[in-house]
Amino acid sequence: MSFRLLLAVLGLIVTASPRQESSRFAAIEIFIDSGARPLAAYQIELTADPGTMKLVGVEGNPDLSFQNPPYYDPAALREGERIVLAAFTTEAPPSGRTRIATVHVCEAGNKPNYSARLIVAGDPEGKPIEALVSFERQGESP
């Protein structure tokens, strides 16, 4: 086999082989802004485009009342693009914009489009309150 033919065959093999998508780890910090009202309980949903990320872990906010990780279904870590988080506190509830959790993910391919939805928020008396949920994607590591 000539050298040129060998290079041509290798070129075909390389171009025909499937390409590995790049993946990276990132942290999604989730916030709830309850304005002047104290935030004692919440339930939120975080989603991403199908096939773009895998949930790796969940942690609380070590600086405030929501120090423990929020409650969630561990099956969500295996299933993928959706997780529902919920927590309550009997300690002094925070008010204003509060980081309530950090969700760790492994992203594949392009950066996913994330979406967060507040299901419910409540004050220390158990009454529903108006609040806004938001998130920030933090860094990446290979």
Q: Domains of the chain (ranges plus CATH)?
A: 21-141 (2.60.40.680)
**Residue 56 neighbours by CB under 8 Å, 6+ apart:** 25, 77, 104, 105, 106
- The Cα 42–Cα 86 span in angstroms is 5
For the segment 103-126, what is each residue's pLDDT rounded down to a tens digit?
999 988 888 899 999 999 999 999
pTM of the model: 0.79
For the segment 55-76, what is each residue's pLDDT rounded down to a tens digit?
888 999 887 788 889 999 887 7
Per-residue model confidence (pLDDT) at position 4 = 42
Helix ranges, the chain (H): 3-16, 75-79
Per-residue model confidence (pLDDT) at position 76 = 74
Q: Does residue 135 carry a pLDDT above 50?
A: yes
- Confirm if 35 and 132 have CB atoms less than 8 A apart: no
Per-residue model confidence (pLDDT) at position 140 = 58
